[in-house]
Amino acid sequence: MLLRHTTPKEIDRQALTINPAKTCQPIGAMYAALGLHGCLPHSHGSQGCCSYHRSALTRHFKEPVMAATSSFSEGSSVFGGSANLVQAIDTIFTVYNPDIIAAHTTCLSETIGDDMTQIVSKAHEDGVVPEGKHVIYCNTPSYVGTHVTGYANQVTAFVKFFSKATPKKRNVVNLVAGWMEPADMREIKRMANVLEARTIMFPDMSDVLDAPLDGKHHMYPKGGTTIPDMVATGDSKFSIGLGKYTTEDACILLDNKCKVKFEVVDIPIGLKATDRFITSLSRHANVPVPDAITDERGRLIDFIADNHGHFYGKRVALWGDPDTLIPLCEFLVSMDMRPVYIVTGTPGKPFDERMAAILKDIPEVKFMSGERADMFRMHQWIKQEGVDLLIGNTYGKYIARDENTPFVRLGFPIADRAGHNFNPKTGYVGATNLAIDILNALLDHRDRTCAEEKFEFQL
């Protein structure tokens, strides 16, 4: 067994993380940057960081992820990477011709203290940024925060560098997308279209990391929020942020900069979170909810009602990002399941407060956020008292195998399965997909392990 060394006995740890439930800031910044059309992410640091971030995204999406690096050497590590970045900007525009370079820092460039504002100004002064092209940047020191923080910082930079207000507001609602799959972004845009709401989504990875194969290489796939749309977000009449941890900062900045009021709701995972999103969109876009959406909701409820006996009382352990875990736990509770162990490596009080409220009727619950909320600890909790289901990214497969527990893959990264970027988990349709995945995982396990006389042909 792969994790046989995990013991049920917990020892108080102050300065040790084992199997963290998070990864590093620039991965989030790189992922978000891919949601702008014609944008090349740029890692200001050593080649190793960039390779790791690219490969982490590539392994998850099964798509080649393009990104450039400042390629720090020993010299730049000591004297600073200004010359490297200016040279890189020149080379990138000459060779790869993106519309935008979205640079983010790494631990190394942050530790040296490279001043991104000054370096990018110098690139403009040196004339290496062609007319009509853009270099944007954000700070993503990975010794604070997580990939979630990096994503939020990059999305906020989009607003900082592009959003502009003119005197004329437009009847458009900005949808500020938190960390989710391209399929989820596609699904949320589909729902908005069915409502006939006029929206701008940013960032938008649909048709970037799930782009069709057409026999040609597209350095910049057709998807992604365009620069004109990104600029126009400043004239929208309202913003809806999807996920507090990943979008609230961008919404606040857009309000301060362009007077676009906002509401932050959960990523619409599950029945109630989707209800809140649809209600918010309907109200702020001033459009009614059509029957087609109500029918999707009804089909979800029908599926849950039909299979409620299989969901009821099942104990679940989960790990991942707070913006995903909060609505996900709420959804499980609404199906009468019992999320009992939850960890996220991303620190923050809002997670703890929301979890306490959502899980108030589950006295045995244990949840934790921050550096010490690692997967080793969650495994120890499971060793103390087992669960019926695991939900999280691929790192949980070791626990699933050790404990012989059904496992539904959700979150980032999913390196050992395919299709997660095609199969939405948001909206009523996505919630139905998720409930089906959960049910089938439980039933597959039952069929594999039940006594022979209980082995049934019929559900």
Cβ distance to ligand SF4 smaller for residue 24 or 264: 24
Distance in angstroms (rounded) separating the CA atoms of residues 425 and 140: 28
Minimum CB separation from ligand SF4 for residue 57, in Å? 13
Helices and strands (H and E) in the chain: how many: 18, 13
Distance in angstroms (rounded) separating the CA atoms of residues 409 and 9: 27
Minimum CB separation from ligand SF4 for residue 49, in Å? 3
Say how many residues touch ligand SF4, by CB under 6 A: 7
Q: Using the 8-state DSSP alphabet, how is residue 64 labeled?
A: P
Cβ distance to ligand SF4 smaller for residue 43 or 156: 43
Cβ distance to ligand SF4 smaller for residue 223 or 347: 347
**By CB under 6 A, residue 191 contacts ligand SF4:** no
Question: Helix or strand or coil: residue 225?
Answer: strand
Distance in angstroms (rounded) separating the CA atoms of residues 56 and 31: 10
Residue from 52, 161, 303, 398 binding ligand SF4 (CB under 6 A) = 52
**By CB under 6 A, residue 153 contacts ligand SF4:** no
Residue from 106, 369, 380, 393 binding ligand SF4 (CB under 6 A) = 106
**By CB under 6 A, residue 26 contacts ligand SF4:** yes
Residue from 3, 107, 301, 443 binding ligand SF4 (CB under 6 A) = 107
Minimum CB separation from ligand SF4 for residue 345, in Å? 13
Cβ distance to ligand SF4 smaller for residue 52 or 303: 52
Q: Taking Cα atoms as reference points, which of 297, 71, 285 lies closest to residue 198?
A: 285
**By CB under 6 A, residue 24 contacts ligand SF4:** yes
Question: Helix or strand or coil: residue 341?
Answer: strand
Cβ distance to ligand SF4 smaller for residue 24 or 382: 24
**By CB under 6 A, residue 303 contacts ligand SF4:** no
B/e letters for 7-44, b = 16+ CB within 10 Å, e = fewer, are eeeeeeeeeebebbbbbbbbbbbbbbbbbbbbbbbbbb
Minimum CB separation from ligand SF4 for residue 370, in Å? 17
Minimum CB separation from ligand SF4 for residue 321, in Å? 17
**By CB under 6 A, residue 307 contacts ligand SF4:** no
Where do the DSSP E strands lie in 98-209? 100-105, 134-138, 170-177, 199-202
**By CB under 6 A, residue 35 contacts ligand SF4:** no
Angle between helix axes 271-285 and 291-306 (nearest 10 degrees) is: 170
The torsion angles phi and psi of 353, rounded to 5 degrees, stand at -70, -45
Q: How far is C-alpha 40 from the geometric centre of its chain's CA atoms?
A: 19
Minimum CB separation from ligand SF4 for residue 205, in Å? 21
Question: CB under 8 Å to 217, separation ≥6 — which residues?
Answer: none
**By CB under 6 A, residue 49 contacts ligand SF4:** yes
Residue from 142, 199, 239, 274 binding ligand SF4 (CB under 6 A) = 142
**By CB under 6 A, residue 246 contacts ligand SF4:** no
Q: How many residues does the chain have?
A: 459
Distance in angstroms (rounded) separating the CA atoms of residues 29 and 176: 15
> What separation in angstroms does the CA of 139 have from each of 57, 106, 240, 305?
19, 8, 24, 47
Residues that bind ligand SF4 (CB under 6 A): 24, 26, 49, 52, 106-107, 142
